[in-house]
Structure 1
Amino acid sequence: MSAVEHLAPITLDELNAEAALQTRVDRKYVLTADETRGLLAALDPATRVLEIGGARTFTYSSTYFDTPDLVTFHQAARRRRRRFKVRTRTYVDTGGTFLEVKTRAARGVTVKERCPADPAACTLDDDAVEFVDDRLAAARLAAPPSSGLAPVLRSRYRRTTLLTPDARVTLDTALTWWHLAPDAGGHDGARDRADVGDLVVVETKAGTAPSSVDRLLWRSGHRPDRLSKYATGLAVLRPDLPDHPWRRLRRERLAA
């Protein structure tokens, strides 16, 4: 993303030391490219950008797992306060794949826990199942056995990561979804692939208090969008599924 070339760099080790933020409040905003450039121009001058090997934008690929009856999707669609998500994430450019379990705790706080995973695996092995079950039990979530989880959707995007004085901020471009379920074509209007075009998903990750970037966006007329890379993507690909939390976003932004 050329609009961040003026920012000072930060290494991955420095970023993790200052703002690992595995427990945080996430706020997402879907902006046009012009709106994103305006945001970047207004950031605190002390903002730094993650740089690895001279690169500042990196490709991420995530595979989301769900049950045959899509329990994690429906938890998000019904806006359950206590819910979970299971995915593998691959850092395509820098290497490394992790199995991640994200849970939603009180006051909207997101907790993410992860362990190394096999990038070639398309199902959860016994160790992965044990990890998922342990994490969900620790979060006191009533969940189906993780042995019933199977890959449903894959997302891929390009990410730029910023560190402001009070938040970690990610900018995701070229977000694309693929339906992985074997019966993807068995639903009216279902699609195998969709993308968000030139839109940018901006996500702030901070403590419970809104960050300076959130306030900057609010002053510009933006409010957090209800967006889940898994649930929103699946609703876009499967029109037969409920989409109430993301309907406004789909009609006003994603429809274009």
Structure 2
Amino acid sequence: MNARDSAAAAIATLPSVGLDALTTDAALLTRVDRKYVVPIEATASLLHALQRSADAPAALEIAGERELAYRSVYFDTPDLLSFRLAAHGRRRRFKLRTRTYLDTGAAFLEMKTRGARGLTRKERDAYDLDAVDRLTAEARDEVATALAAIGVQPERADDLDARLQTLYRRTTLLLPGEIPSRATIDLDLRWIDADGGGFTLPRFAIVETKSPGRAGALDRALWRAGHRPQRISKYATGMAALRADLPRNRWTRVLAGPFASTHPTRKDTPCAAA
């Protein structure tokens, strides 16, 4: 059995949980997110070990599926304002994407902004499935208002276009404890730029824990296995991996480590709809 099949088997043998129970037990209005880039074989081993422990997680299951397909399209200006604000650690910054849940056909427009006081605001609205590769006029108006609120020229909303898409299969876990928490495991990771070129990361999973503060059972298991949280953004790290001319200091560790093993893909899947 290869590493990917082993991970799938580990996910399949976990107890299942429905969406209503997941959101009720682990609402996590205030949370700490930690991200890890973990070899797939290590991810499978951790899940098998947790299944045999008192801290066994349950996997979200929807219509019999535990690995749900996601597609995100990220929007930025021609000079990559969103990317550069993140790359230079600016306090005022934003990230804009559409997210499509391919198994259910639901789509959302999500914008995350951070203002002068360092407070992060995330807005999420249902979006037209036929428009996920572009911004509608109504969406641009809403984005312009959000940009103005953090001191970015609102007219920059007119410059935003699809720059990168990511595709992956996500498993969401409910982790037991005094205060239940959540985690996600993203597999079959793929990045595609606006010209259709890109890369895959077949040997790794991105694991993200979402806890109410202190580290949970999965964090501790990851630490014992030698894995530590890493600074990674699917959009910004992906852009830095694709383009050597872009600033990359904030993601040097992960770019020199797991992302050094990326597999290039052909220019056959453009980011924006034709």
TM-score bracket, normalised by the shorter chain, equals: 0.7 to 0.9
1 CA distance for matches of 2:236 and 2:24?
31
- Which of the pair has more CA radius of gyration? 2
CA shift for structure 1 position 46: 4.4
1:229 matched to 2:243: no
Cα deviations by residue, 1:46-81 (Å, 9 ceiling, x for unpaired): 421100111110110000011121111112211234
The corresponding residue for 2:170 is 159
Q: Which runs of 5+ in 2 are unaligned?
A: 1-7, 262-274
Q: Say yes or no: does 1:248 pair with 2:248.
A: no
Partner of 1:7: 14
User: Which of 68, 76, 89 matches 2:86?
Assistant: 76
Give the secondary structure class of the aligned counterpart of 1:155: strand
TM superposition shift of 1:107: 10
After TM superposition, the structure 1 stretch with the greater mean CA deviation from structure 2, 56-65 or 98-107, is 98-107
Name 2:136's counterpart in structure 1.
Answer: 125
SS in 1 for 2:104: coil
The farther-off stretch of 7-16 and 61-70 is 7-16
SS at match of 1:249: helix
Which secondary structure does the structure 1 equivalent of 2:234 belong to? coil
Could you tell me how far apart the structure 1 residues matched to 2:147 and 2:30 are? 15
**Match of residue 190 from structure 2:** 176
Q: How far is the alpha carbon of 1:126 from its aligned partner?
A: 2.6
- 2:160 corresponds in structure 1 to 149
The offset of 1:135, in angstroms, is 4.3
User: How far is the alpha carbon of 1:108 from its aligned partner?
Assistant: 8.2
The counterpart of 2:48, out of the listed 28, 41, 47, is 41
1:70–1:24 distance in 2 versus 1, CA, 3 Å:
farther
Please state how far the C-alpha of 1:235 moved relative to its aligned partner: 0.9
> Once the 2 structures are TM-superposed, how far is the Cα of residue 203 of structure 1 from its aligned partner?
0.6
1:192-239 Cα deviation digits (max 9, x unpaired): 111112210001122343333222222222111111100111111111
Distance in structure 2 (CA, Å) of the matches to 1:29 and 1:110: 21
Match of 2:172, SS state, is: strand
Write the distance in 1 (CA, Å) between the matches of 2:121 and 2:104: 24
Amino acid at match of 2:237: T
Instruction: Tell which deviates more after alignment, 170-179 or 217-226.
Output: 217-226
1:205–1:106 CA distance, 2 compared to 1 (3 A): farther
Tell me, yes or no, if the aligned pair for 1:25 and 1:108 is still in contact at 8 Å: no
Amino acid corresponding to residue 169 of structure 1 in structure 2: A
Equivalent AA in structure 2 for residue 239 of structure 1: A
Contact 2:147/2:153 (<8 A) preserved: no
Relative to structure 1, the CA distance from residue 217 to residue 107 in structure 2 (aligned partners, 3 Å threshold; closer, same or farther) is farther
* Structure 2 match to 1:187: none
Q: Cα gap change, 1:27/1:106 in structure 2, threshold over 3 Å: closer, same or farther? A: farther
Instruction: Give distance in 2, aligned partners of 1:3 and 1:105.
Output: 41
Amino acid of the structure 2 residue aligned with 1:226: R
Counterpart residue type for residue 141 of structure 1: I
Q: What are the equivalent positions in structure 2 for 1:19-58 lying under 5 Å apart? A: 19-21=26-28, 24-43=31-50, 44-58=54-68
Give the fraction of aligned pairs with identical amino acids, expressed as a percent.
48
- What stretches of structure 1 of length at least 5 have no aligned partner? 185-190
Alpha-carbon distance between aligned partners in 2 of 1:203 and 1:164, rounded to the nearest angstrom: 12
Instruction: Give, in whole Å, the separation in 1 of the partners of 2:59 and 2:114.
Output: 28
TM-score, length basis structure 2:
0.81
- Structure 2 CA distance, aligned partners of 1:8 and 1:135? 41
**CA RMSD for the aligned pairs?**
2.4
Distance 1:75 1:240 in 2: 16
The count of residues paired between Structure 1 and Structure 2 equals 245
